[in-house]
Structure 1
Amino acid sequence: MTSCYLMGGKAMLVDYRKRDTYLHKTSPKVLLLGTLLVIVASILWTHPLYCGVMLGLLVILGKVAKFPWSQIKWFFKIIIIPVIFIMIIQAFSLDTSLLHSHYKEVILFYLLPGERLGFNLGGLLYGLAASMKIYMVVLAVAILGYTVSPSDFIQMISRLRFASRQFVFIFSTAWRFIPIIQKQIRHLLDAQKTRGMELDKGKLIERVRKLIPIVTPLLSNSLETGDQIALSMEARAFG
C-alpha cells in the first residue's frame, strides 16, 4: 500500500517496506480493522484525553514498526496552523451542547466588552480533540500503508463477499496509479527547481501559488495515463 502527500513543495511517499517487525507480521485483516476502529473513534470521541491516548498508542506502534517519520513530518508541520485555528474557533463557539459538562461553563476570558464572545475552556478542549483526530487518522492510514503490502491488501479485498471482479480491478489499478502520479510530481517539481523556483521558501500562501503551475501538466498526464489504461482494457475486452 502507499500513502501519498504533497505538502510544502515536497512530494512525500509513505510506501510499503518489508521489515522484520511485529506489525509487518500481523494479518492485514487485523491492521485494516484497527485502522477502521481508529477512524470510527475519531468520529465518536470528543474528549482530548481519549484522543491523546490513542495518538500516543499510534506513535508507539509506529516506532515498533520502524515507521519513517521523516517522510511524514512535513504534513504534521503544515497542518499546525489549521489545527490552532480549529482550537480557537471551537473555544469561541456558542454551541455549548457539544462541550463537556464539566468545562462548558468555564469561561477563561471575554473577547468583547459586556461579557460577550467568551473563550470557553470546554470549547478549547473540544477543538484540541478535533485536532488530534486529524493526526490520528493520518497516522493510522500511513502506518497501514507502510506495513501491508499491496498484493496482500488486494488479495484480502478480493476475498470479501461484496467485492466483485470489477471492484477489485478498479481498486488495484487505482492503488498502483499512485506511484505513477508520485513519479510525475517529482519530475514536475524538479523541472520547477531547475528554473530557479524555490518551492520551500516563503509563506504558506506563496508556496501554494508556486505549486499551481504543476497542477495542469499533472492533471493532463494523469488523464492521458487513464486513457491508455482504458484503451488497454477495451482491447482485452475487459468487463
Structure 2
Amino acid sequence: MNKENAVAKTHRFETFVPQLRERRDRIVYEGRVGRIGATSSSRYRLVATAATLTLISFLIATVIHPILTAAVGVLAVAFIAGGWPAATGVAELRRVNRVVPHSCIILGAGLAAVAVSLVDTGVERLTFLPAIAAVGVVASFIVELIRGEGAIGRLESVISCITGVLAAVSVAGWVALADFYRASQSSSLLIGIGVGIALILGTFGIRMISAGPKEGPRRGAITLGVTPVAFVGVLGYLIALFISHVVV
C-alpha cells in the first residue's frame, strides 16, 4: 500500500513540475509582446535590439545636449537597476522575482553618478566615479550581511550587486562625452575614434551575454543589451580625452 502511494505521489509530482514550468514561462513571456525572448534565438535578438537602440539613443543625445544625454542615462540606469538581478540569475537563485535592495543600490549609485557628471564640467569629471562605486560596494556587503549566515546565494548576490553598480555608474561616461563634444572643436572626430575603439574593446559584452541565463524575465535580456553600452561611454570618453591631449 505504501509502495502504491509512493508511486502515485511520484506520478503527481512528475506531472505537476511541467505544469509549473509552463505556468512560469507563460507568466514570464506571454503578454502584449507575445513570446519574444522565450527561445534562445529570440532572446539574443532581444539583447541585440536593446543594445542597438541604447547605443543609437546615446549617440544622438550626445550630439544634441548633455541634459538629453543625462535623461537617456537615467533610463539606462533604471533598466540596469530593474533587470540586473534577473540578468545575472541571482533572482532565480534566490527564488524571487525581484531583488529590491540590489535594485535600489544600483539605482542610487547610477543616479548619483549621472547627476554629478552633469554638474561637474571639469576635465577630471569622472574622478568621482570610484567614490560612488565604493559606496555601492559597501552597501551591497551590508545588505548581504543583514540577510544573515546561511542565506541562499550570498556570494553570488554580492558579486551581482557590485557589477550592477559598476555598470550603472559607467553611464556617467556618456554625459561626460556629451559635454566634451560641446567643449572641444575637434570633438566629432575624437568622439568617433573614442567610441569606435570602445566598441572594439567592448566585445567583452558578447562574453557577458553568452554567460547570462538562457531563461528568465525579458527585463534580464534587455539589461544584458543595455549594460555593455553603458561601459562604452566611459571607455569612449577616456580614449577621446587621451587622444585630445596627445593631439594638442
TM-score by length of 2: 0.24
TM-score by length of 1: 0.25
Bigger strand fraction: 1
Bigger helix fraction: 2
